[in-house]
Homo-oligomer: A and B are copies of this chain.
Amino acid sequence: MTISKVLNQIDEDLPNSIDRLFELLKIKSISTDHAYKSECKKAADWLVSDLRTMGFDANRRDTSGHPMVVGHSKGTGPHVMFYGHYDVQPADPLELWDSPPFEPKLEETKKGKVIRARGAADDKGQLMTFVEACRAWKKIHGKLPVQVSMFFEGEEESGSPSLVPFMKANASELKSDIALICDTGLYGEETPAIVTMLRGLVKIEVQITGPSRDLHSGMYGGISINPIRILTKILSGLHDIDGHITLPKFYDGVHDLSNELKTQWENLNFDHSHFLNEVDLSVPAGEIEYSPLEMIWSRPTCDVNGISGGYQGEGFKTVLPSKASAKISFRLVGDQEPVKIIESLKTYIEKNLPEDCSVDYIEETPSKATHMSTTNVAFEKARQALSLEWPKEAAFVGCGGSIPIAGHFKEILDTDAMLIGFGKDDDQIHSPNEKYDLSSFHRGIRSWARILDQLARD
């Protein structure tokens, strides 16, 4: 079967692909707001019906939250499972949109045509790149080159409460040879990227208590311990002057990059000045001896995401507070063990706690870093397919954040996941005036067609 006819079909059918995406974008599937529950169901039903037109055995699968959509095609060869989400972020503040968020339109901009709507990039537009690729394959060859399943979620923007239970309950149905996830971006403007490293996350809130109640600093100032002073002392000791994290054994399990990946990343020519300038910064603030790209992709971090204590309103109140607290998070890499890091933090805090203070912790379930086994041949095949489609060669990249679904595929289904997406940094996802470049949509469809083609080969 030749890929060129499929690509031609994609090019010719692009206006219809856009129309279909617009239909989906018009549905206000805001998952976090209960008022839009029926809209979420409507989006799920639209997808079921669209998959069925392509011959998929597709169904809406209700949960206690918003429904999942699962569809299977018959076919031979390797089994791929595609994941995307049909729910979107709320659109407010509405007054900041230049056109209504749920009335999608094609817009000419300086950088080319864009699809403007809530969900255009995150994730309806990306989800539909894969659906349209399959549609073109079916149209030309009557069947898909590999066995394809699709799995769409409607709660990604509201914490995915039903996801893990659903995956566990339907593990044998959802298992495949490789999972494909389309919810990430290109590297820069023209370099396709496959995310192979995701950082883990440890979140812990630390609350220091000094006096048993808030005190007046006129009466007690000088004699009473101030928990804010203790907390700041503790927090200030977490980093040395060169950006290293000082907790004992913190770096256990952190590995340096392989030479191969190092070379690939150097070739990406990451413009950290531009990246930082956009938020009015200029100096990379991580461990001094590592490159900026390593700082955000492959090095662990420790950050205080929130700090709180005493009087925080307008003006002043001369209070010596009883309590002060900080929300601390660690981004983990390699084989760092969340449990050991939490233990090391607690030991450090308690060692630095004066006799008159006590400490309480609130923890959230931590996650380890995720590393894809790029030895799975699918990774190299996808990289080659993407390199054929885009002006620049595709790269294996890292991702500083965590995309839980990738870990779930690994942990629950023991399936490697390839995170491939076509978003751009200026897509304004989660913000007003979200857009998806028409070129991302068009080339995205073509990319998946090529990847399916490659995966079908021996």
Instruction: Name the B residues within 8 Å of A110 (CB-CB).
Output: none
Interface locus among A22-30, A36-44, A304-312, A387-395: A304-312
Instruction: Name the B residues within 8 Å of A226 (CB-CB).
Output: 285, 303-304
Task: Check A303 against B401 for contact (C-beta < 8 Å).
Answer: no
> How long is the Cα–Cα vector from A34 to B406 in the complex, in angstroms?
59
Task: Check B331 against A279 for contact (C-beta < 8 Å).
Answer: no
Task: Please report which residues of chain A, range 296-318, place their CB below 8 angstroms from some CB of chain B when the two chains form the complex.
Answer: 296, 299-301, 303-312, 315-318
Contact of A281 among B224, B238, B299, B331 (CB under 8 A): B224
- Asked if A268 is an interface residue, CB under 8 A from chain B, the answer is no
A296 to chain B, nearest CB (A): 5
CB-nearest residue of chain B to A287:
B222
**How would residues 288 to 300 of chain A score, 1 for a CB under 8 Å from any chain B CB and 0 otherwise?**
0000100110011
Task: Check A220 against B296 for contact (C-beta < 8 Å).
Answer: yes
- Asked if A93 is an interface residue, CB under 8 A from chain B, the answer is no
Task: Check A315 against B402 for contact (C-beta < 8 Å).
Answer: no
**How would residues 68 to 85 of chain A score, 1 for a CB under 8 Å from any chain B CB and 0 otherwise?**
000000000000000000
When A223-B286, A318-B329 are in contact, do A307 and B305 touch as well, CB less than 8 Å? no
Task: Check A331 against B221 for contact (C-beta < 8 Å).
Answer: yes
When A305-B311, A305-B316, A316-B327 are in contact, do A211 and B280 touch as well, CB less than 8 Å? yes
When A318-B203, A318-B305, A354-B283 are in contact, do A299 and B225 touch as well, CB less than 8 Å? no
Task: Check B364 against A292 for contact (C-beta < 8 Å).
Answer: no
CB-nearest residue of chain B to A299:
B222
A283 to chain B, nearest CB (A): 5
Task: Check B304 against A401 for contact (C-beta < 8 Å).
Answer: no
- Asked if A210 is an interface residue, CB under 8 A from chain B, the answer is yes
- Asked if A345 is an interface residue, CB under 8 A from chain B, the answer is no
The 5 closest A-B pairs by CB, nearest first: A218-B401, A306-B310, A236-B236, A212-B280, A222-B295
Task: Check A356 against B316 for contact (C-beta < 8 Å).
Answer: no
Task: Check A324 against B311 for contact (C-beta < 8 Å).
Answer: no
**How would residues 349 to 362 of chain A score, 1 for a CB under 8 Å from any chain B CB and 0 otherwise?**
00000111000000
Known: A226-B303, A228-B307. 10 other contacts (CB 8 A): A222-B301, A223-B285, A224-B279, A229-B235, A229-B236, A282-B356, A305-B318, A306-B310, A307-B308, A316-B329
When A220-B279, A401-B219 are in contact, do A309 and B307 touch as well, CB less than 8 Å? yes
- Asked if A284 is an interface residue, CB under 8 A from chain B, the answer is yes
Task: Check A229 against B319 for contact (C-beta < 8 Å).
Answer: no
- Asked if A217 is an interface residue, CB under 8 A from chain B, the answer is yes
Task: Check B296 against A306 for contact (C-beta < 8 Å).
Answer: no
Instruction: Name the B residues within 8 Å of A354 (CB-CB).
Output: 283, 285
> How long is the Cα–Cα vector from A374 to B123 in the complex, in angstroms?
77
For the complex formed by this chain, how many copies does it contain in all?
A: 2
Task: Check B235 against A356 for contact (C-beta < 8 Å).
Answer: no
- Asked if A166 is an interface residue, CB under 8 A from chain B, the answer is no
Task: Check A310 against B311 for contact (C-beta < 8 Å).
Answer: no
- Asked if A11 is an interface residue, CB under 8 A from chain B, the answer is no
Instruction: Name the B residues within 8 Å of A216 (CB-CB).
Output: 401
A-B contact pairs, 20 of them (CB 8 A): A199-B221, A217-B329, A218-B399, A220-B296, A221-B296, A221-B303, A221-B331, A223-B295, A225-B283, A228-B305, A228-B326, A229-B238, A232-B304, A232-B307, A235-B236, A285-B356, A304-B309, A305-B311, A306-B317, A315-B364
Instruction: Name the B residues within 8 Å of A318 (CB-CB).
Output: 201, 203, 303, 305, 329, 401
- Asked if A320 is an interface residue, CB under 8 A from chain B, the answer is yes
> How long is the Cα–Cα vector from A428 to B320 in the complex, in angstroms?
18
> How long is the Cα–Cα vector from A318 to B356 in the complex, in angstroms?
31
Task: Check B220 against A331 for contact (C-beta < 8 Å).
Answer: no
Contact of A301 among B217, B292, B296, B400 (CB under 8 A): B217
Task: Check A303 against B229 for contact (C-beta < 8 Å).
Answer: yes
Instruction: Name the B residues within 8 Å of A218 (CB-CB).
Output: 199, 331, 399-402
- Asked if A96 is an interface residue, CB under 8 A from chain B, the answer is no
> How long is the Cα–Cα vector from A309 to B279 in the complex, in angstroms?
18
- Asked if A272 is an interface residue, CB under 8 A from chain B, the answer is yes
- Asked if A335 is an interface residue, CB under 8 A from chain B, the answer is no
> How long is the Cα–Cα vector from A280 to B357 in the complex, in angstroms?
9
When A281-B210, A329-B318 are in contact, do A276 and B308 touch as well, CB less than 8 Å? no
A273 to chain B, nearest CB (A): 11
